[in-house]
Amino acid sequence: MLKISTDKIAEVIILARDMPRGEREFDAFVSNLRDEEKFSLVALMWIGRGSFEPEELEEAIDTAASEATTPTQTYLKGSPHLADHLENGLDALGISASDAEDDLY
């Protein structure tokens, strides 16, 4: 189970789409997340890009926790398709990213 709300994920997706213009906002938002939220965010990105299957969510979260060596915001910015990967991860888990994003606009 994800340990981050869909609203927060949607906010990260929106901020990721605004980069590099909104990079400072992105960094601030992600750095202020709790560790469990950061690990879930990384795991979700991995699922969205196909590194893990949806049913491997807990394993992906555990791996994100054990392999965290750089700030999460820096790591996530290294993925050129971050917003797409997060959306794909949500879709793979049966969660609608567009509903959450619409609520924030």
pLDDT digits (tens, 9 = 90+) for 59-85: 999 999 999 999 999 999 999 899 999
Amino acid letter at 31?
Answer: S
Nearest CA among 34, 46, 101, 52 for reference residue 79: 46
Q: Is residue 12 within 8 Å of residue 54, measured between CB atoms? A: no
User: Using 50, 70 and 90 to split pLDDT, how confident is the model at 97?
Assistant: confident
Q: Is 87 helix (H, G, I), strand (E, B) or coil?
A: helix
> Secondary structure of the chain: what % helix, strand, coil (to 5)?
70, 0, 30
Domain ranges for the chain: 6-104
| Averaged pLDDT for residues 35-50 | 97
pLDDT mean over 22-27 = 94
Q: What is the mean pLDDT of the chain?
A: 92
